[in-house]
Amino acid sequence: MSSLASTVSTPRRGAPLVIGEHFFAYSFRPNAFGEPMGPVLMVDHFWMKRQTFGLHRHEGISAITYVFEDSQSAHMNEDTMGNNLPIRPGDLHWMVAGRGAEHNEKPEVDDTVVHALQIFVDLPSLKKEVEPYAMHLDSADVPQYLQEGARVRVVAGKFLDVVSPVALPQPFSFFDGHIAMGASIVIPIPRAWEGWFYAVRGTIQFEVAGKTLPLAQGFALVLRKGSEAWSARVTAKEDAHFVMLAGPRSGEAQF
């Protein structure tokens, strides 16, 4: 069995994605890391001021929108399942596309910036053809893990004894963390899980199995599965904001 140290990728910067004057993203695709990003197929860390993509279709995956707490605007989501609602700052909206669904997204108010993540997660093979459905978690219902110098929003999954109330179609964790300069936090990762770790703001130091990597703002790394349950220590070199997405790797999907 390979050591855990060999399962951490080289950090990569998101590729800039610019559409007109109303959409900018740091975009992450598997080819940036040379192989899949665990169960995560794609991530866009984006800022949007106006409708960009129009009505579009997804199938065989989950399409997830998470609006950061500092977003100036809610993100409106309208879909073919009858949902038409704002995704407000701090909210999670998880669409299980299954056999296929369409949606359209835009800022609640034009020319007001939405700051958010758009995430595509592969569905297990037995759930790729399910009837599409969506789950919505309000910001007020996202539990938090608190320690001196650190705050982690447990958007999905479990962090120690803090458990998100959202019931997902598969095992998955989504942590949105904030760490003060000089503080550290240890993140547990279940056996055989893989993950994607991203520095939203600030520079952090990432330690796992004796290997230490700096992760600057706008960079991400991929954590490959180990033979045992393991943990990662995150230390902030300055006030920092990070996101971690993790779960068992699934098969390939279309989006």
Predicted confidence (pLDDT) at residue 116 exceeds the cutoff of 60? yes
The token pair that represents 240 in the structure block: 């920092």
pLDDT for residue 22 is more than 60 = yes
Looking at residue 92, its pLDDT comes to 98
- Under a CB-based contact definition with an 8 Å cutoff, are residues 95 and 120 in contact? no
| pTM reported for the whole predicted model | 0.92
Token pair 């971690």 in the structure block, residue = 244
Where in the chain are the domains?
A: 4-247
Give the least confident one: 30-39, 41-50, 51-60, 123-132. Answer: 30-39
The two three-digit tokens of residue 71, written as one number: 């977003």
pLDDT category at 3 given cuts 50, 70, 90 is very low
Query: What is the percent of the chain where pLDDT is above 70?
Result: 93
143-175: burial string, b at 16+ Cβ within 10 Å, e else: eebeeeebebbbbbbbbeeeebebebbbebbbb
Q: Work out the pLDDT band at 254, boundaries 50, 70, 90.
A: very low
Taking CA atoms, 39 is separated from 56, 73, 220, 250, in Å, by 22, 29, 15, 5
Residue 164 has pLDDT above 80, yes or no: yes
37 is written with which tokens? 């990003």
Mean pLDDT, all residues of the chain? 89
- Structure-token pair, residue 5: 């140290």
Average pLDDT over residues 131-145: 96
3-state secondary structure the chain: CCCHHHHECCCEECEEEEECCCEEEEEECHHHCCCCECCEEEEEEEEECCCCCCCEEECCEEEEEEECCCCCCCEEEEECCCCEEEECCCCEEEEECCCCEEEEEEECCCCCCEEEEEEEEECCHHHCCCCCEEEEECHHHCCEEEECCEEEEEEECEECCEECCCCCCCCCEEEEEEECCCCEEEEEECCCCEEEEEEEECCEEEEECCEEEEECCCEEEEECCCCCCEEEEEEECCCEEEEEEEECCCCCCCC
End-to-end CA distance of the chain: 33
Fold of the domain built from segment(s) 4-247: Jelly Rolls (2.60.120)
> Which is more confident, 129 or 249?
129
Q: What is the mean pLDDT of residues 172-182?
A: 96
